[in-house]
């Protein structure tokens, strides 16, 4: 909110946000198992929000958000040339407060305009990223230099993004929640010594099943599927790569 309107318009009295965070991590390692577990809790206080009316800039304080969740990653060797990699992330990210009938003043000109603002966001999920994610990959190395890595990824609890300052009516409900999605990728690389150079040739097939899934969404203000704008992820595609180490 320091720069406005996606250009270099300065917000002269942008309010700094406050953050209070706590994390707990534990790991476990053996010859064929590596596991990590993490719990986090972050409180975002006085999120940087603004309203504009012509040349007037209203900086708004008092809206908080809470991000908490657990994260797990695991790598397990099944045999010398085969291992599995998996990760799980489960979050609960919500806006944590309302403000009602708060008078704010034009921070561009303190002697100027004032307005009364109410924002109702408490309990509404934070949008813009899936709050549940899971992946499961198989790392196979059948011959020297060859790596075959298929991976399945799941995305859930994906809520549409929105501007909290547009939530001006009590009881507006949650943001739009997109359908969960599962995507499968295949990554293959082969490393070799050719003409005195270490080379790696890569083949990458993304979204093998050509699944339709929502990559991002913008809520229309009431959480309904009729008002939301959705942006779909890319379909099936193939990439080739070549790496040369000098």
Please give the structure tokens belonging to residue 53: 């009316």
What pLDDT is attached to residue 85?
A: 97
- Asked if the model's pLDDT at residue 2 lies above 70, the reply is no
- Asked if the model's pLDDT at residue 22 lies above 70, the reply is yes
13 band by pLDDT with thresholds 50, 70 and 90 = low
User: Any long-range contacts for 114-119 (C-beta under 8 Å, 24+ apart)?
Assistant: 115/51, 115/53, 115/58, 117/51, 117/58, 117/60, 117/165, 117/168, 118/168, 118/170, 119/49, 119/60, 119/63, 119/164, 119/165, 119/167, 119/168
Query: Which of 30, 49, 58 lies closest to 167 in space, CA to CA?
Result: 49
Question: How many CA atoms lie less than 13 Å away from 121 in the CB half-sphere?
Answer: 27
In this structure, the dihedral spanned by the alpha carbons of residues 96, 22, 68 and 44, taken in order and rounded to 10 degrees, is 30
Report DSSP state, residue 172.
Answer: -
Tens digit of each residue's pLDDT (9 = 90 or more) over 104-124: 776 655 556 788 889 999 999
What pLDDT is attached to residue 113?
A: 76
Tens digit of each residue's pLDDT (9 = 90 or more) over 31-60: 899 999 999 999 999 887 877 777 677 778
What pLDDT is attached to residue 103?
A: 79
Tens digit of each residue's pLDDT (9 = 90 or more) over 183-206: 999 999 999 988 888 999 999 999
- Asked if the model's pLDDT at residue 234 lies above 80, the reply is yes
The better pLDDT of the pair 3, 218 is held by 218
The better pLDDT of the pair 3, 166 is held by 166
Percent of the chain residues topping a pLDDT of 70: 91
Please give the structure tokens belonging to residue 44: 């975002």
What pLDDT is attached to residue 225?
A: 87
Task: Report d(CA 61, CA 46) in Å as an integer.
Answer: 5
The CA–CA distances, whole Å, from 38 to 48, 68, 100, 181 equal 28, 11, 36, 24
What pLDDT is attached to residue 243?
A: 92
What three-state secondary structure class fits 68?
Answer: strand
The better pLDDT of the pair 216, 54 is held by 216
């Amino acid at each position: 909110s320091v720069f406005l309107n996606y250009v270099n318009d300065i917000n002269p009295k942008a309010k700094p946000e406050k953050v209070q965070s706590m994390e707990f991590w534990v790991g476990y390692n053996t010859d064929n198992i590596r596991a990590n577990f993490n719990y986090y809790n972050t409180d975002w206080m006085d999120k940087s929000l603004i309203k504009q009316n012509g040349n007037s800039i209203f900086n708004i304080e008092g809206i908080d958000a809470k991000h908490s969740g657990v994260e797990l990653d695991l790598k397990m060797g099944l045999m010398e040339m085969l291992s599995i990699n998996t990760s799980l992330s489960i979050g609960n990210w919500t806006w944590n407060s309302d403000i009602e009938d708060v008078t704010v003043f034009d921070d561009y000109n303190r002697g100027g305009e004032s307005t009364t603002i109410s924002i109702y966001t408490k309990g509404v999920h934070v949008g813009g990223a899936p709050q549940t994610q899971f992946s499961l990959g198989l790392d196979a190395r059948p011959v020297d230099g060859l790596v075959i890595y298929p991976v399945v990824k799941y995305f859930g609890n994906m809520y549409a993004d929105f501007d909290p300052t547009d939530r001006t009516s009590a009881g507006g409900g949650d943001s739009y929640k997109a359908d969960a999605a599962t995507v499968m990728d295949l990554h293959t690389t082969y490393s070799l010594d050719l003409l005195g150079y270490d080379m790696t040739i890569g083949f990458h097939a993304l979204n093998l099943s050509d699944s339709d899934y929502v990559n991002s969404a913008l809520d229309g203000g009431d959480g309904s599927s009729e008002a939301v704008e959705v942006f779909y992820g890319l379909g099936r595609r193939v990439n080739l790569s070549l790496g040369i180490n000098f």
